A and B are shown apart, each in its own frame.
Chain A
Amino acid sequence: MSEIRLQVKNLCKSFGITKAVKDVSFSVNKGEVHALIGENGSGKSTLTNMLTGIYSIDSGTFVLDGEEIHPKNQVDANDHGVSIIVQELGTLSGLTVAENIFLGHEDRFVKYGIKNTKQMIREANELLHNYGFDRIKAQRMIDDYNFEDRKLVEIVKATYFDPKIVVVDETTTALSQEGRNELYKVMDRIRAKGNTIIFISHDLQEVLEHSDTITILRDGVYIDTVKSEDVTEEDLKRLMVGREVTGDYYRSDYGSVVSPEVVLSVKDVSVPGLISNLDFELHKGEILGFGGLSESGMHEVGKAIFGASYDRKGSVTLQDGTEINDIPTAIQNSIAYTSKDRDNESVVLNQSIMDNICLPSLDELSDKRHMLSDKKLRDFADKFAKEMSVKMVNVDQFVSDLSGGNKQKVVLARWIGKDSDIVVLDSPTRGIDIKVKQDIYQLMDRMRKAGKSIIMISEELMELIGMCDRIIIMKDGMISGEIERHETLDENNLITMMV
């Protein structure tokens, strides 16, 4: 059983100046489900994307059954016997189910340049039948099926040719329990054939239940490989975070009283298809957390408060009665927002740090005749970039050259420069290394003490527990529970409300 299938040798990968994977080596056996776990930004997906040819390799090698492989793209990886089921949607709309399943492998249906569509559909239907997915018809357009069924099509596409290794990259988060069970069945079948699964998941319970071996990564570095039966969830958590969670990292106070003063009240807010009938209040100097699964609607909460949601109903009102309905009003009334989608919604990538920091403050920086002076802008940007210790050459540097953590610092510098009183942070530490994370936590603590109110939306429960005065848990677009800050609070308290 313990024959080696894949060896990962001294693998490295950088994106610009960010080192996503640092000299990682480990091996994976035949006939096992090998889980790969780590916090966001720990390099799991980067690693598997290199294995499946989506990213190129900087240095190091993959050895599959004793043979070095350098997949150029997914189809090339398939030819080597490696396939992947990705996190997002991997099917292409506008094509039929059959065309999606055989995309890149059409040649066996092509004779004299003409594609035998009938045969292709027949074979695809046979495959679907073998998987027990009879309700999906190969001749139909993929667009006719919902997310869940499209995921099942992807599973067929990735596994029908008996690959030696199948990577399942956080597929389960997007699936309902029923869909998950289908996936587990397929995984069992692959394992029974002596093939290997590399399983990436955030759900540690699921990992313990369905994997044989677990490899832990942290900040792009290999930490350990353990047998599932030898460890508990607590052990895994410790290995992932890398230390006992102590006061130095998050804030250390407990039992401090939050001011009763309400600075923002959200009443009956709904966004079609995302959140419904939300009611809550934010207090002065409070850190209010929002937790839940990625699809729970919590990310939309931030946008709704910032006036960035479309078709929002209900009201978002400030202390002085001002209603917030659009972004400019929100900003003028001292609300700040950092998006989860940092590269598209927070920073203007192809623009200088200076312009990025000054953008929302241009009105204040203009003189009486609406004129701007370069020097004033530069000084302003420089001051706040330095205050946030952004690693840069100067403020003329383009944001696109910065690492994820530094981009986030530019975003924060912008809002500190604007001196916003209500700060909405959506996934502020996503894909950011531990050092910068700590800076951000400390900044939040300082802001809180200065009387600023913070809403923190995060998929990482530990940081919510560590930082927030109060945590609201969302499920299916609604509030499913609320918990006050407490020393004994742990993730399980929250998870029960999330699922």
Chain B
Amino acid sequence: MNSATVTMDQKKIEGSLRGYMILLFLVVLSWSIFKILTPHNFGTLNNMLSYFQASLIASVGAVGFYFVMVMGMFDFSIGANIMLSAIVGCVFATKLGLGYIGLVLGALCCGCLVGLFNGSFYVKLRIPSMIVTTGLALIYEAVANYIAGGVEQTLPAGLRMFGQMPGDIVLAIAAFLVAYVFLNYTKIGTYTYAIGSNEFVARNMGINVNKYKVLAFILSGGFLGIMAVLTISYGSSMVAVTGMASMSRNFIPTMGCFFGVAFKKYGIPLQAIIIGEFIINIIFFGFIALGAPTAIQDVITGFALLIIITVTTKINKGEIVK
């Protein structure tokens, strides 16, 4: 061991540590700002715990979507997937009387199936993923509407274990662990980064690029299915909207994903997604505590996402961006 390697290894530790420091700083910063502005109805330990619980919902979807995003693809059907999966899970649990098993398996399988459709259509038709998923989102919304029969699907009170402590935390942690293992301890994880880095080289290395792209979509779909379980358990019901209105559900998971992509270089993408979603929720609830009208929240969401991306995007001169 010469001195050069020692400093290198130190740098590595510093790398992830620095990432955590930045995230922690952001948490403290956003908390302090709102705590100063509204000291009374914001930011107690209990408050923070409930913000964190609420943020777990989107984090679960975001860690799955991360696989798709790292490969350089996009998905506009996230919201439609969540809606459809939640409704399918709810129908399985109630109308088919399968209880929790029906809820989780129904939503999970439905999510994976949607992912499979997204991936296969994208790969087979050879059209940009965001366009394919826009078209498919129209279809998923319509299907969800059919299954729901145009009425709100409500999860009975006896089936809302995943809407509160500790059920939601257990399910979310299980999902994070699965994502972590997939990303770090399977070929899928390696190939996800390889394809994201340079698809052409990856193909030459014998990686079946199309297969892994479809797998990424299925994986992402599965996590969105679990997110659907958490969403309907937390909110207790789901309305099947049409006319691309489901797109508004795309935002929160996408935001977390941008955190993940930005902190990839520190080696802590999944951790960054979880903490990132937490930060977003602190800001959210901060504004609510400030008494901002609900309509303004969309403004904040849109603006926050734009700022996060602006800050995390490196401007390369001469790079072509479409």
Contact = CB atoms under 8 A, between A and B. Distances in A.
Interface of A: 53-54, 72-76, 90, 92-95, 99, 103-104, 106-107, 110, 113-115, 117, 134-135, 137, 140-141, 143-144, 310-311
Contacts of B294: none
B295 interface: no
Contact of A310 (B201, B264, B317): B317
Interface in B171-206: 181, 184-187, 189-190, 193-194, 196-198, 201-206
Interface stretch (B3-11, B140-148, B150-158, B227-235): B3-11
19 contacts: A74-B205, A75-B205, A75-B206, A90-B201, A92-B197, A93-B198, A94-B193, A94-B194, A95-B193, A95-B194, A104-B205, A104-B207, A106-B190, A113-B186, A114-B181, A114-B185, A137-B9, A140-B12, A310-B317
A135 B193 contact: no
A94 B8 contact: no
A110 B182 CA distance: 12
Contacts of A92: 193-194, 197-198, 201-202
Interface in B1-23: 2, 4-5, 8-9, 11-12
Contact of B267 (A74, A104, A141): A141
A99 B190 contact: yes
B318 interface: yes
A286 B204 CA distance: 46
Given A74-B206, A103-B205, A311-B317, A115 B5 contact: no
Contacts of B2: 135
Given A114-B181, A144-B8, A54 B204 contact: yes
Contacts of A106: 187, 190
A144 B4 CA distance: 13
A103 B9 contact: no
Contacts of B181: 114
Chain B CB within 10 Å — which of A103, A106, A113, A140 has the most? A103
Given A95-B190, A114-B181, A104 B206 contact: yes
Give the bracket for the number of chain B residues in contact with chain A.
20 to 34
B211 to A, nearest CB: 13
A72 B267 CA distance: 34
Contacts of B194: 92, 94-95, 99, 103
Nearest to A49: B204
Interface in B200-247: 201-207
Nearest to B206: A75
Nearest to A94: B193
A92 B207 CA distance: 13
A99 B186 CA distance: 11
Contacts of B8: 137, 140, 144
Contacts of A95: 190, 193-194, 197
State the 8 A-B residue pairs at the shortest beta-carbon distance, nearest first: A75-B206, A92-B197, A94-B193, A310-B317, A104-B205, A104-B206, A73-B206, A74-B204
Contacts of B184: 117
B205 A94 contact: no
Given A95-B194, A135-B5, A140-B12, A115 B202 contact: no
Given A90-B201, A94-B196, A94-B197, A76 B206 contact: yes
Nearest to B4: A135
B318 A310 contact: yes
Given A74-B204, A140-B12, 16 more contacts: A75-B206, A92-B201, A95-B194, A99-B193, A103-B190, A104-B207, A107-B187, A114-B185, A115-B185, A115-B186, A115-B187, A117-B184, A134-B5, A137-B5, A137-B8, A143-B265
A114 B187 CA distance: 8
Contacts of B185: 114-115, 117
B157 to A, nearest CB: 39
Contacts of B197: 92-95
Nearest to B208: A73
Contacts of B267: 141
A311 B316 CA distance: 12
Contacts of A135: 2, 4-5
Contacts of A144: 8, 11
A378 B203 CA distance: 42
B201 A73 contact: no
Interface in B97-140: none
B187 to A, nearest CB: 5
Nearest to A113: B186
B220 to A, nearest CB: 18
Contacts of A114: 181, 185-186
Contacts of A72: 206
A345 to B, nearest CB: 10
A327 to B, nearest CB: 12
B187 A110 contact: yes
Nearest to A73: B206
Nearest to A76: B206
B204 A53 contact: yes
A137 B7 CA distance: 12
Contacts of B317: 310-311
Nearest to A79: B206
Nearest to B190: A99
A73 B207 CA distance: 9
Contacts of A311: 317
Contacts of A99: 190, 193-194
A113 B186 CA distance: 6
Chain A CB within 10 Å — which of B186, B206, B207, B264 has the most? B206
A136 to B, nearest CB: 9
Nearest to A139: B12
A90 B9 CA distance: 25
Contacts of B202: 92, 103
Contacts of B196: 94
Nearest to B203: A73
Contacts of A104: 205-207
A72 B203 CA distance: 10
Contacts of B204: 53-54, 73-74
A480 B58 CA distance: 59
Contacts of B11: 144
A116 B2 CA distance: 27
